[in-house]
Amino acid sequence: MTGDNWMLDSGITCSYDGDVIEYTDGVVVMLVIKPFIVEGQLLFFDVKTEDEDDYLYEPSFFHAKNWEEIDEQFRTYVGERPELLLDGSVLNCTYCKSGILQGETTGIATFGEIQRSQRNPDLKTYGNHFENLDRNPTIICVACLMDLNNDVQEIWPDGVCHADECPEGTYVRCWRSGCEGNCQNKIPE
Which residues, in sequence order, are CB contacts of 49 under 8 Å at separation 6+? 55, 56
pLDDT band at 133 (very low <50, low <70, confident <90, very high): confident
Give me the pLDDT at residue 183, please. 65
Q: Express each pLDDT in 76-112 by its tens digit.
A: 999 888 777 788 999 999 999 999 999 999 999 999 9
Q: Express each pLDDT in 163-184 by its tens digit.
A: 888 888 888 888 888 886 656 5
pLDDT band at 65 (very low <50, low <70, confident <90, very high): very high
Tell me, rounded to whole angstroms, the distance of Cα 113 from its chain centroid. 16
Asked if 27 and 118 count as a contact pair (C-beta separation under 8 A), the reply is no
Give me the pLDDT at residue 66, please. 97
Q: Express each pLDDT in 3-33 by its tens digit.
A: 455 567 888 899 999 999 988 899 999 999 9
Q: Is the pLDDT of residue 187 over 90?
A: no
pLDDT band at 58 (very low <50, low <70, confident <90, very high): very high
pLDDT band at 189 (very low <50, low <70, confident <90, very high): very low
Q: Is the pLDDT of residue 139 over 90?
A: yes
Task: Please provide the distance, in angstroms rounded to a whole number, between the alpha carbons at the two ends of the chain.
Answer: 40
Q: Is the pLDDT of residue 121 over 70?
A: no
Domain ranges of the chain: 3-162
Percent of the chain with pLDDT over 70: 85
Backbone φ and ψ of 172, nearest 5°: -90, 0
pLDDT band at 1 (very low <50, low <70, confident <90, very high): very low
